[in-house]
Amino acid sequence: MTTQSEIAQRVVESILAQQLAPGERLGEQELADLFHVSRTMVREALMQLQARGFVEVRPRRGWYVVEPSVEDARDAFAARRIVEAGILSQTGEAPAEGRSLQSVALALRRHIDQERQAIQGDNAATRAFMLADFHVCMAENLGHRLLCGVLRDLTARTTLAATLYQSTHDARQSCDEHAAIVEALEAGDLVLARQRMLDHIGHVENALSAEVPTREGRLQQALTPVSAARKAR
């Protein structure tokens, strides 16, 4: 049986995959039918997502995916800089389970290979998800498991901003920048890796447009599981 946490996770994954657009309505009954659960469980999942800043209730209209303001977007990018620069500032400390930086880099290179495959394919959702998931994968492999959930939520927030404000940052550019970060990690140069990460986040933020388009989406299609998403560890 699907739990409220699984419903919430599916919504966040669909945001990361850019399948759920900011301002899209999340009908309780439609979600209940989709996940074969009660509306009570759906409401509990939506309240969980509301507490995490992903959905909001509009009076007499129901639940909607949030539409971040420009200030909200800037705050989310600033938070990501703090978290991701912090992750890469642990100079001299061993990664997860005593692994070397070289073994961490190898795991991230495998992830980048998946990114490139997704970019070459025609599934935009998988491409968007894999590019966003790189950052969570990096935190996990560097041994910062407690920060994985935090970083996933922050990445989802910046993804909402990128979706809403029509980011012009190219997928191939993101993948190449990920590869440059991994190259620095592999060389043991955490200072360079941190700078490249900050540059990368800045490039994504600076690619946002100031114009907000009108968006309408179909909930069932939007919440389709991402086909080639990285398996949860």
- Give me the pLDDT at residue 109, please: 97
107 is a domain residue:
yes
The rounded distance, in Å, linking the Cα atoms of 89 and 97 is 18
The rounded distance, in Å, linking the Cα atoms of 51 and 70 is 20
The number of helix segments (H) and strand segments (E) in the chain equals 10, 3
Number of structural domains (the chain) is: 2
| CATH classification at residue 123 | 1.20.120.530
Q: Are residues 37 and 91 in the same domain?
A: no
CA-nearest of 13, 11, 52 to 31 is: 11
CB atoms closer than 10 angstroms to residue 16: 26
Domain boundary among 42, 67, 92: 67
Q: Are residues 99 and 21 in the same domain?
A: no
Q: Are residues 176 and 87 in the same domain?
A: yes
**Does residue 117 sit in helix, strand or coil?**
helix
222 is a domain residue:
no
Q: Are residues 83 and 187 in the same domain?
A: yes
- Give me the pLDDT at residue 97, please: 61
227 is a domain residue:
no
With a cut of 70, list the residues of the chain below it in pLDDT: 1, 90-98, 210-222, 224, 226-233
User: Long-range contacts: 9-14, Cβ < 8 Å, 24+?
Assistant: 10/35, 10/223, 10/225, 11/45, 11/49, 11/54, 11/55, 11/223, 12/49, 12/52, 12/54, 12/152, 12/153, 12/156, 13/129, 13/225, 13/226, 13/229, 14/222, 14/223, 14/224, 14/226
- Structure confidence by residue, pLDDT tens digits, 69-104: 999 999 999 999 999 999 998 654 556 566 788 899
> For the chain, what percentages of helix, strand and coil (3-state, to nearest 5) are there?
65, 5, 30
Q: What single-letter amino acid sits at 1?
A: M
Domain boundary among 67, 82, 97: 67
Q: Are residues 132 and 191 in the same domain?
A: yes
105 is a domain residue:
yes
The parent domain of residue 55 ranges over 4-67
Q: Are residues 182 and 151 in the same domain?
A: yes
145 is a domain residue:
yes
31 is a domain residue:
yes
Q: Are residues 61 and 105 in the same domain?
A: no
| CATH classification at residue 14 | 1.10.10.10
189 is a domain residue:
yes
Q: Are residues 172 and 114 in the same domain?
A: yes
Token pair listed for 43: 């409401």
Q: Are residues 97 and 196 in the same domain?
A: yes
Q: Are residues 58 and 139 in the same domain?
A: no
Q: Are residues 93 and 163 in the same domain?
A: yes
- Give me the pLDDT at residue 221, please: 61
Q: What single-letter amino acid sits at 58?
A: R
Q: Are residues 39 and 93 in the same domain?
A: no
- Give me the pLDDT at residue 168, please: 85
218 is a domain residue:
no
**Does residue 25 sit in helix, strand or coil?**
strand
